[in-house]
Copies of this chain bind each other. A is one copy, B any other.
Amino acid sequence: MTATTAVDRRHGLELLRQMLLVRRFEEKCVELYSATKIRGFMHLYIGEEAVAVGVMQALTAEDAVVATYREHGHALVRGVSAASIMAEMYGKVEGCSRGRGGSMHLFDAATRFYGGNAIVGGGLPVAVGIALADKLAGRDRVTACFFGDGAVAEGEFHECLNLAALWSLPVLFVCENNRYAMGTALERYESETDLALKAAAYEMTAWSADGMDVVVVEEAAQRAAAEVRDGRRPCFLELRTYRFRAHSMYDPDLYRSKQEIEHWREHDPIPVLGDRLRAAGLLSDDDVAGLEREVAEEIEAAIAVAEAGSLEPVEELERFVYWEGEAP
Interface residues of A, Cβ cutoff 8 Å to B:
153-159, 161-162, 165-166, 189-192, 197-198, 200-204
Contacts and interface: CB of A to CB of B under 8 A. Distances in A.
Counting chain B CB atoms within 10 Å of each CB, the highest count among A158, A165, A166 belongs to A158
A161 B191 CA distance: 9
Given A192-B203, A200-B197, A203-B191, A154 B165 contact: no
Nearest to A191: B165
A204 B201 CA distance: 13
Contacts of A198: 201
Contacts of A192: 162, 165, 200-203
A234 to B, nearest CB: 9
So how many copies of this chain end up in the complex? 2
B156 A155 contact: yes
A37 to B, nearest CB: 39
Contacts of A190: 162, 166
Contact of A201 (B159, B166, B189, B197): B197
Contacts of A153: 159, 162
Contacts of A191: 161-162, 165-166, 202-204
25 contacts: A153-B159, A153-B162, A154-B155, A154-B159, A155-B156, A155-B157, A155-B158, A155-B159, A157-B158, A158-B158, A162-B190, A162-B191, A165-B191, A165-B192, A166-B189, A166-B190, A191-B202, A191-B203, A191-B204, A192-B201, A197-B200, A197-B201, A200-B200, A200-B201, A201-B201
Contacts of A200: 192, 197, 200-201
Contacts of A204: 191
Contacts of A197: 200-201
A198 B203 CA distance: 10
A-B CB proximity, top 7 nearest: A155-B155, A158-B158, A165-B191, A166-B191, A201-B201, A192-B203, A191-B202
